[in-house]
Structure 1
């Protein structure tokens, strides 16, 4: 399946410029259009009580004021790149609106935000929420790190799990268009991962993807992935999100939680 529609989360948080640049470059590379979704109502804030209603109304008022310069930036970026697109304003909650829209997009672009403004705080939970609740792939763009002009080198962090399988299938058009792909497996106490990685490499070859396979033993999974992304010179990392329960990852620590907190490069994730 070709990539034809890129959905972009539009808001005034500190990650907007980076993810806009990524979404436009990604769309240009794969011949897609970009739909920006701008919402007025903040996520996670209930309409309960007079004080909260006043606070929410103020946030909505500010969102309306911030929309015009963001849309102008969006229009300029698309025009400069020769990419088509559309800007949509939704009155509802951003998390619900994006979750619904993911169904009708080939990939959705959001940000990892850690800078502490009100807009950053409101957007901070979106990557995790969409990865768990959506039926499509999500690309999480790091804030404040170099934005790749194109996806040339990709690392697939592989383990034989349902989530990793979903991520790879969603990523097939991207992998097919990349210059180099590496399937990375990590032992984590079992050598089954190595055999599964070899099988995935052969499966990708049947789709025209020329991938290599690298297996690591006796290494922390998250640290090993980050180090290999750097060594390979990857500008995209593909992985399944939360192959064990989210609660277990929060309590015990885990690969997904670690990478979402500080992505080394844009992450293409699916649950």
Structure 2
């Protein structure tokens, strides 16, 4: 399997420039086409009541005005990267529109967007909603952090779960192109994840991946993973998300919640 279509969430939030740069670089590295989807209807706003209708109409009008600048930025990035790019405008809500498009793309690029402008707040919950609702992988690009020119070093946060297995299989084309891949396991319970991590590194090598395994015998994964990403110099972090229920993560906290709020590097995630 290879990556042939990179799907980009196009919107006037503060993360657009960073995720556009990442998506264009990924398309260049993998030889993929880059498709941007721009939606006019705001996320998370119901179509109920006259007051809301007036508000929504105003947001749609603003979205049409902002599209001109964003599309020009997209076209410039595509030309600079030397990749094929398509811009699509949809009269619809962003999560539903992207969910429909994900089936026909190999990976979808969105942003971790901090609360700020109205556009930022409307986009803030998109990463987790999209990753949970879609049948494909999602890359969450941090806002305001350095964007790698290419993916050379990849950290795989591993535990033997269905979600982590999905993420690794989806990421195989990217892992094969990387210069170095580290499989990281963290011992948080009595389960022997170290042996599983070693097996994963050996499995990846059969796909031509230059993979090594590092095991941390004790620690909290939510703390160890970002520390190791920085120490390893990772350009991408691959992991499964919500191995336990989203409700449990919200109540008890968890690795998924903490990393989606503040990703140390771009996250390649799947559920």
TM over 0.5: yes
Helix, strand or coil: the match of 1:90?
Answer: strand
The residue that corresponds to 2:136 in the other structure is 136
> Secondary structure at the residue paired with 1:121?
helix
Corresponding position of 1:90: 90
Is 1:180–2:171 an aligned residue pair?
no
Which residue of the partner structure matches residue 69 of structure 2?
69
What's the offset of the Cα at 1:17? 0.2
Partner secondary structure for residue 140 of structure 2 = strand
Is the 8 Å Cα contact of residues 102 and 135 (structure 1) preserved in structure 2?
yes
CA distance in 2, matches of 1:82, 1:219: 44
TM-score by length of 1: 0.99
Count of residue correspondences: 271
Q: Deviation of residue 79 (structure 1)?
A: 0.7
* Residue equivalent to 1:221: 221
SS at match of 2:88: strand
Q: CA deviation at 1:208?
A: 1.0
Q: Where does residue 48 of structure 1 map in the other structure?
A: 48
Partner of 1:230: 230
Query: Which secondary structure state, in structure 1, belongs to the residue aligned with residue 234 of structure 2?
Result: coil
Q: 1:67-122, CA deviations, whole angstroms, 9 ceiling, x for partnerless residues? A: 00100000011111111110000001100000110110010000000041000011
- In the TM superposition, 1:51-200 aligns within 5 A as 51-200=51-200
1:27 aligned counterpart, secondary structure: helix
Deviations 1:168-212 (A, max 9, x none): 000000000000000000111124210110111111111111200
Say if 1:24 and 1:83, in contact at 8 Å, map to a contact too.
Answer: yes
Task: Give every structure 1 segment of 4 or more consecutive aligned residues whose post-TM-superposition deviation is greater than 4 Å.
Answer: none
Map of 1:23 onto structure 2: 23
SS at match of 1:188: coil
In 2, distance between residues paired with 1:191 and 1:250? 24
- Indicate the SS of the match to 2:202: helix
Which runs of 5 or more residues in structure 2 are unaligned? none
- 1:243 maps to 243
SS in structure 2 of the partner of residue 208 of structure 1? coil
**Contact 2:115-2:124 within 8 A present in 1 as well:** no
Conserved? CA contact 1:14–1:115, under 8 Å: no
1:154–1:236 contact (8 Å) kept in structure 2: yes
Backbone CA RMSD of aligned residues: 0.7
- Contact (CA 8 Å) 2:112, 2:140: kept in 1 or not? yes
Partner of 2:206: 206
Once the two structures are superposed, residues 13-59 of structure 1 have per-residue CA deviations (whole angstroms, 9 ceiling, x without a partner) of 00000000000011001101100000000111101111111111111
1:220 is displaced (CA, Å) by 1.1
What is the DSSP-based 3-state SS (H/G/I as helix, E as strand, rest coil) of the residue aligned with 1:265?
A: coil
Q: Report the TM-score, using the length of structure 2 for normalisation.
A: 0.99
Q: 1:111 and 1:123 mapped to 2: Cα distance? A: 8
Q: Are 2:113 and 2:143, in contact at CA under 8 Å, matched by a contact in 1? A: yes
